[in-house]
Every structure is written in C-alpha cells, then in structure tokens.
Amino acid sequence: MWTSLFPLALAWLSTDQALASENCENVFDKCQQGDVPWTRCYEDRIASCRLRNRRMINFIHRRVSWKQEAEESPTPQHRVQISSSALRISSGAGSEDEVLLVATVINSTYFKLSPSPRGRHFILDRPRQRTVLGGLVLAVRAGNHPVRNLSQAIKLTFKHNKQVEDGACVFWQESPLEDGTGCWSTGGCETSNTGSEFVCSCNHLSFFAVLVNPVLSVEERDAVNLSYITYIGSALTIFFSVISLIIYICLQRRRPEKAIGVHLQLTGALLCLHFSFLLCCFWVWWLNGKEEDWVCRGLGLFLHWSLMATFSWTALEGFHLYLLLVRVFNIYVRRYLLKLSVVGWGLPTLIAVVCGISGVYGKYRPESRDANNRNSTAEICWMSSHRLSVSYVTIVAFPCLVILCNSCMLGLVVFKLWRLRVGSRGAGGGGSKKMDREKWMKLWRDCATVLGLSFVLGLPWGLASTTYVSLVGIYVFTVLNSLQGVFMFLWSVALSCKSRSDNNSSTRDPSTQKVMTTSFNN
C-alpha cells in the first residue's frame, strides 16, 4: 500500500515545489495568458512565488512581522502603510510571527474597462474622472487570507506634481461577467489631498489608483475648445441648411432659375457633409472602444462622399459664375441642371464606390499625442490610418484646384465691379451729400456681394493653409467652415430679399443689378 502511494505523494510534492519555486518575474506574463481574469490570477500566484532577483525594480516582496505596523515604498511616488491588525488578519491567526507583504506598481493600460452599461446591466460606482494618476496602479497583497472591512484603514500615498484639478482614490473591481474587464470603484476608500500627494484610506487590500482630472495644457485646452466649436457649428449648419433649402425651393417655384438650382444642390451637399460628420463622431463615441464594424465603414464612406459632393458643387458654382461673367452671350445649354447634377453627384459617388470596394474606410485616429503620451484627438469613422494615401488625391489635390479656380472667379467679380463703379462715377458727377451717401451704399452692397460669393465659392476652405502658421488661423478656419450653413442661410435670405425688391421696386442701381445677375438669373 505504501509502495503504491509513494509515486502519488512524490508527484504531489514535486508539483507543490514547482509552484512554490515559480519566479515572481514570470507571474504577470503567465497570468496574462490564462483563462481566468489576470487580476485574480496575479493576486493568487504573487503570494506563492519566489523572488530570485533581489533587486527587482518597483517590487516589494518580503516577510514582515504582524506585531507592528509595516511601511513600504515600491517607488518614490508610492507608499503603503498597513496596520498590525490588518497584518494579523491576513496571517489567519497562525503560529508564525511573520506574514508575506507584496507591493508593486502596474501600468494602468492592462486594466480594461467594461463597456458602458446599456439596458439592465450591473451598476457600479463609476467616478467621472478617467485618467489614472501617473498611469500606474499600486497593487498590495498581504498573507494568504483576504483582508476586508478593516476597522483601522490602510493608508496609501500617491505623490503628484500639482498638475491635477482633483482626484479620487479607487480600487479595481472585476466585472461579474468574468471577461477580464472591470471598473474603478470608490467603495471603501476615502481621499485626502495634502497639495503634493493624495492619501487614500481604504478598508481592504486590492489594486489601488487615483483617478484625476489633469490640468489641461494650452494645446489640450485649445483642442477641447476647437472640438466644441466644430460640434456646435456643425449643428447650427444643419439647422440653417434645412431653412435655406426651404427658401431655395420657394424661390425656385416663384422664379425657376438655374443659379438658384445650383445653390440648392450645394446647400444639400453641405447638409449631408455636416450631418455625416456629426454622425461619424457620435457613432465612434457610442461604440465606447469596441472594434470597428461595417457601420463605421459605411459612415466613413458617407462622410467622404459628402465632402467630395460639397467640393464638386462648389466647383460647379464657379463654373456657372464663369458662364455668366465671361460667356455672357450664347450660354444656353440643353438640360443644364441635369448635366451639372451628373457631375456634382455622379463623380463623388464613383470615387466613393471605388474606395469602398478597395477597403479604404474604417476607424481613424490621428497620430498626435500630448505630453502624457495620450492621444489628444478623438477617433472618427473615416479612412483607415494605413490607407490615407488615397485621401491626398481626393481631399487635398481636388479641393486645392477648386479653391484656386474659384479664387480667380472671385477676382474676376471684383474686377467687374471696379469697372462698373469707375464707369458710373465718370458718367455721374456732382459732389452732393446725396451722391456720397449713394456711393457708400453701393460700396457696402459690393462688399456684401463679394463676401457672400466667397462663401458660396468655398473660399474659406483655403484658410486651411493658415492652420500650419498660427493658432489664430486654426480658430478662424474652424469657425468659418463649421458655420458654412449659417452663411449660406444669410445668402439665401439676401437672394429672397433681392427677388422681392426686383418685383416691387421700379428704380434700382443698374451696375449692382448687372453683377448680381451672376447669382439670380439664368
């Protein structure tokens, strides 16, 4: 009998010795590869491993007496103070006078947050702060028995450089789903800030951290401000674009003109552009870090198509202006608006379909990081980061060509206005106050005409070059292009008022009427 049990006892003894002799340096990597949550595996195995390298960085692994308070500092920024009563509980009231104490720091990126609860999922205490102080989590383990509901709290100290607004002491709580995720909870922990360090008083042992709101740098604050400007401006553009479409439809019914039809198409493309932009941003935010799917790829296609359609109809606005100013006579084209629509909507559709078949679209995150090595810009459904070479042709080369041509068209408008004003000044005469007032009114109308046409021709997009020069250029570019729909609405109101004045007024400025023909008449 003893002979038969000897191999079994020997195997058990060898297995126990192998487990006891496991190197502490390998525990973290092995737990990452296991089937159970790595935090639970790490807590179980870190207490039974052996520290072969006595100089392991940022790692405390030694036996301490439970008859007195223990204090350890795995790093200069972290300190742990455990009372003798807590050490006594962790020892299990055994006969030994010493208990194993483990204290180390772990990178916070290994702690995966659970997706935001939708529906009737579990609800945990989720602080609003999301940034782990220093990007490090303090792991503390004592003895072989769990330590909970202590009457004398454990103190954990986290030093900081005062570049934070506030903080909250938290511990890591695993998800009930046991999928390796969890959340930061403030249960059982109290926080005090001395000005240079956070002191956490907790009634248990676990993985601890301090969640803070960092003080934004100038660059980060500007990035947040520009994001708010873009979102609010795009929302206003959508609202006013809808009103502009209604105005253009009413004008088209009252006076069916080709120029109004072109404005109508451009406003529709602009509406699609800003709506798709907000939709792409909202979708990525709603995904909450999940992998991209076919919906994000479809939204990226929609956004790219809308942007191409906007630039196409902007180019057609310049082409229509060219016909009216240069080729004044014999500009009749059969099914003119239909042919423009084939180009304005067909070309972007063709490009988007080809790019979609090529697998260009997906989730995009700009490669820009702040001082804490965190990505400073949000993700968006656009073109994948490794396929951005396609965008240089479709959203860089083509828009630059459109802006260049339309700038020449606007210069031609300014030249025509100057010629008309010089001619009217020579034919007029007199220096009365009434003439001076009329001159300033004409100048004001001319400036308003040029300014309105510059937005119709998409010239604010040309300010993208100033974003590489100064911060002011970035703000100006963002404000003007996010509020495109508002300016198009003002232009539609001007067209509506001019159309009514043409019907009700018997006298008008012939020079202004001739230039404004570029916007009204066919």
- For residues 218 and 27, which has the higher predicted lDDT (pLDDT)? 27
Q: What is the pLDDT of residues 215-253, one digit of tens each?
A: 555 466 788 888 899 999 999 999 999 999 999 999 888
Instruction: In whole angstroms, give the CA distance from residue 178 to residue 190.
Output: 27
**Which helix (DSSP H) or strand (DSSP E) does residue 42 occupy?**
helix 38-45
pLDDT band, residue 176 (cuts 50/70/90) = confident
pLDDT band, residue 123 (cuts 50/70/90) = very low
Q: What is the mean pLDDT of residues 304-326?
A: 90
pLDDT at position 274 over 90:
yes
Instruction: In whole angstroms, give the CA distance from residue 217 to residue 112.
Output: 27
pLDDT band, residue 124 (cuts 50/70/90) = very low
C-alpha distances in Å from residue 129, one per residue of 164, 198, 207? 11, 15, 17
pLDDT value, residue 219: 63
- For residues 216 and 11, which has the higher predicted lDDT (pLDDT)? 216
Q: What is the mean pLDDT of residues 443-450?
A: 74
Instruction: In whole angstroms, give the CA distance from residue 1 to residue 311.
Output: 90
Q: By mean pLDDT, which of 57-61, 198-202, 478-482, 507-511 is the weakest?
A: 507-511
pLDDT at position 3 over 80:
no
Residue with tokens 């202590």: 150
404-436 exposure pattern, b = at least 16 Cβ within 10 A, e = fewer: eebbebbebbeebbeebbeebeeeeeeeeeeee
Question: CA-CA-CA-CA torsion for 188, 194, 198, 199, nearest 10 degrees?
Answer: -40
Ranges 43-52, 95-104, 302-311, 355-364, most confident: 302-311
Residue with tokens 């004001």: 444
Are the CB atoms for 313 and 333 separated by under 8 Å? no
Mean pLDDT for all residues in the chain: 77
Residue with tokens 């609800």: 123
Q: By mean pLDDT, which of 226-235, 312-321, 363-372, 469-478 is the weakest?
A: 363-372
Q: For residue 106, give the 3-state DSSP assignment.
A: strand
**Which helix (DSSP H) or strand (DSSP E) does residue 11 occupy?**
helix 2-20
Instruction: In whole angstroms, give the CA distance from residue 55 to residue 62.
Output: 12
Residues 6+ apart with CB under 8 A from 73: 60, 79, 80
E strand map for 291-429: 361-364, 380-383
pLDDT at position 444 over 60:
yes
pLDDT value, residue 373: 39
Q: What is the mean pLDDT of residues 176-181?
A: 79
pLDDT band, residue 503 (cuts 50/70/90) = low
Write the single-letter amino acid at 91: S
**Which helix (DSSP H) or strand (DSSP E) does residue 507 occupy?**
none
Under DSSP, the state recorded for 156 is E
Q: By mean pLDDT, which of 224-228, 327-331, 461-465, 481-485 is the weakest?
A: 327-331
pLDDT band, residue 375 (cuts 50/70/90) = very low
pLDDT band, residue 307 (cuts 50/70/90) = very high
Q: What angle do CA 467, 468, 471 make, to 5 degrees?
A: 55
Q: What is the mean pLDDT of residues 31-35?
A: 81
Percent of the chain with pLDDT over 90: 21
C-alpha distances in Å from residue 473, one per residue of 218, 240, 481? 16, 25, 12
C-alpha distances in Å from residue 218, one per residue of 215, 370, 448? 10, 11, 36
Closest of 463, 496, 450 to residue 264, by C-alpha? 496
Write the single-letter amino acid at 4: S
pLDDT band, residue 277 (cuts 50/70/90) = very high
C-alpha distances in Å from residue 322, one per residue of 47, 407, 412, 446? 80, 12, 9, 18
pLDDT band, residue 522 (cuts 50/70/90) = very low
pLDDT value, residue 125: 38
Ranges 104-108, 285-289, 346-350, most confident: 346-350
Q: What is the mean pLDDT of residues 487-493?
A: 90
Are the CB atoms for 169 and 203 separated by under 8 Å? no
pLDDT value, residue 14: 39
pLDDT value, residue 330: 54
Q: What is the mean pLDDT of residues 509-521?
A: 42
**In the structure encoding, which two tokens stand for residue 503, read together?**
């019907």
pLDDT value, residue 458: 87
Q: What is the mean pLDDT of residues 32-39?
A: 82
pLDDT at position 303 over 70:
yes
Taking the CB of residue 35, how many other CB atoms lie within 10 A of it?
A: 7
pLDDT value, residue 148: 81
Q: What is the mean pLDDT of residues 249-268?
A: 88
pLDDT band, residue 4 (cuts 50/70/90) = very low
pLDDT band, residue 167 (cuts 50/70/90) = confident
- For residues 446 and 461, which has the higher predicted lDDT (pLDDT)? 461
Beta strands 380-383; 361-364: pairing state: antiparallel
Which residue ranges form the domains of the chain, and what is each CATH number?
21-114+123-214 (2.60.220.50), 218-520 (1.20.1070.10)
Are the CB atoms for 391 and 364 separated by under 8 Å? no
Q: What is the mean pLDDT of residues 76-88?
A: 88
Q: By mean pLDDT, which of 141-155, 393-407, 434-448 is the weakest?
A: 434-448
Are the CB atoms for 442 and 516 separated by under 8 Å? no
Sign of CA pseudo-dihedral 31, 33, 38, 41: negative
pLDDT band, residue 2 (cuts 50/70/90) = very low
pLDDT at position 368 over 90:
no
pLDDT value, residue 308: 94
Q: What is the mean pLDDT of residues 122-139?
A: 64
Write the single-letter amino acid at 512: T
Q: What is the pLDDT of residues 380-399, one digit of tens each?
A: 788 875 555 666 778 888 89
